[in-house]
Amino acid sequence: MVAAASLLGTVALTGCAKASHDGASADGGGPTKITMWTHSAGNPGELAVYRRIIDDFNASQGEYQIVQQNFPQGSYNDAVTAAAAARKLPCLIDMDGPIMPNWAWAGYLQPLDLPASLTDLLLPTAVGTYRGKVHSAGYWDAALSLFARKSVLEKNGIRIPTVEHPWTLAEFDAAVGKLNDSGYKTPLDLGAADKGEWWSYAYSPMLQSAGGDEIDRSGMRTAQGALNGPDAVAFFSWFQKAFKEGWANSDGPVGNQNFIDDKVALSYTGVWNAKDALDKVGSDLLILPPVDFGKGPKIGGGSWQWGISAGCGKAQSEGARKYLEFSFQDKYLTAFSDSQVVIPATAGATAASKYFGPDGALRQFAVLSQKFALARPATPGYPVVSTSFEKAAKDIMNGADVKPALDAAVQAIDSDIKSNNGYGN
């Protein structure tokens, strides 16, 4: 999954320093070497684009040389936290968007200081801001949608929702009921077999659409009222009902296979499953906007982004910025998009994308991202927010009383904030 890397390995450690392998070449001459770490080991398409950017940058000037090192996504966060503890972070590191505030607060990152003329062109969810300063920026974003078959909705007399007129909750419930009656034993796949960051990424936008949130974002000092207030209780009561009534289940498999096999009529999933669905379902595939739970449709945003470590030396930091500025050319963002089926972060790169351009088969995802995507809470306490949210939502799905489960999540989040002196807020 593009946008839902686990945050469980995150540890708040301070005191990072310049990596020992960044700096002048061993013989004292030649370009200054700048090491970059990625989470992309095992992803040949993504690595090929990085290789192209690095080769082009290194060939374009003689002052700096980018040296790439790749880690598997599953062990990447642990590698970063271990390097921070040993004061050996490289200059350039990538990170899943919502983890950036924690790493900035822990002292891993320095402000990015890229030109506003560059960052202002990016999707808002592709730019990570902490305490008013940009600390990370990404080449792409992901987006969520409801997949459906046009023929199935038309056969059952169900209105096809649009970006301008999405389904209301009442319409959605009625549609699911009709699909249930038409023979779909479990008409809806909400992705509940998945785990980890998926839960916050997928379901907190629904909560926001209903009027709640994971935390009170006005000060980031409490979840009281946002995660356990009347709007949150109403949303999670609906969430529990969806499983109790058998509209959805958590049996799996993870992914979109039940929709491909026509075992479910509606699938709440992401752009990473879109190409396969298009290949299997063809022109019958509908990429629908999210449901409006009362306060407007919302989807999650914020994928992998780049930052510069706080301990990176002055000369190396300047080179890292020059590399990043070079790397955000539209041609590279389009290359990532075409290789990875992700939404480019600039309008120019999107226009050139074979999937998301004006005539692209997956253009709807770019529209959904632009109109409905929201970043997860930009707080150093987000790892605890995410895990507490996941636990409460899973408990509620499995039949726990809604309000007490949400109260327990609020208590866990607020206790973490208090124990960290409000994370400086």
Distance (Å, rounded) from C-alpha 271 to C-alpha 312?
35
Residue 62: is it exposed, middle or buried by C-beta count within 10 angstroms (0-12/13-18/19+)? exposed
Element (H, E) at 397: helix 382-397
Our CA angle for 142, 342, 333, nearest 5°, is 120
The CB-side HSE value for 364 (13 A sphere, CA atoms) comes to 21
Residue 6 three-state SS: coil
Structure tokens at 224: 């009281």
pLDDT, tens digit, for every residue of 11-60? 443 333 333 346 555 446 799 999 999 999 999 999 999 999 999 999 99
**pLDDT at residue 404, rounded to an integer:** 98
* Contact between residue 301 and residue 144 where contact means Cβ atoms under 8 Å apart: no
Tell me if 143 sits within 8 A of 368, measured CB to CB.
Answer: yes
251 within 8 A of 193, measured Cβ to Cβ? yes
Rg of the chain, C-alpha, whole Å:
22
Residue 67 CA to residue 113 CA, distance in Å, equals 21
CA distance 162 to 159: 9
DSSP string, 368-389: HHHHHEEEPP-STTHHHHHHHH
What is the structure's pLDDT at 4?
A: 39
Neighbouring C-alpha atoms within 13 Å toward the C-beta of 288: 25
Helix (DSSP H) and strand (DSSP E) numbers for the chain? 16, 15
Query: Other CB atoms closer than 10 Å to residue 218's CB: what's the count?
Result: 8
Query: Whole-prediction pTM value?
Result: 0.93
Cα–Cα distance list, 198 to 184, 228, 264, 332 (Å): 25, 20, 20, 27
Give residue for tokens 């075992």: 263
Tokens of 139: 């080449």
Q: Classify residue 130 by its DSSP letter.
A: E
Angstrom distance (rounded) from CA 167 to CA 175: 9
Tokens matching residue 116: 């506003």
**In DSSP terms, which residues pair with 399 in a beta bridge?**
none
| 296: Cα within 13 Å, side-chain hemisphere | 7
User: pLDDT tens for residues 226-245?
Assistant: 999 999 999 999 999 999 99
pLDDT computed for residue 15 by the predictor:
35
According to the model, what pLDDT value does residue 234 have?
A: 98
C-alpha–C-alpha distance, residues 361 and 354, integer Å? 8
- State both tokens at 326: 């070079």
Contact 272, 341 (CB under 8 A): yes
Q: Where are the beta strands (DSSP E) in 87-143?
A: 92-96, 109-110, 127-130, 133-137, 140-141
Q: What is the mean pLDDT of each run of 10 residues along the chain (425 residues)?
A: 43 38 58 97 96 98 97 94 96 97 97 98 98 97 98 98 98 98 98 97 98 97 98 98 97 96 98 97 98 98 97 97 98 98 98 97 98 98 98 98 98 98 93
Phi and psi at residue 325, to the nearest 5°: -60, -40
Q: What is the pLDDT of residues 271-291, one digit of tens each?
A: 999 999 999 999 999 999 999
Mean pLDDT taken over the chain: 94
Query: Torsion angle of alpha carbons 54, 56, 62, 63, nearest 10°?
Result: -40
Return d(Cα 189, Cα 140) in angstroms, integer: 26
- pLDDT score at 28: 63
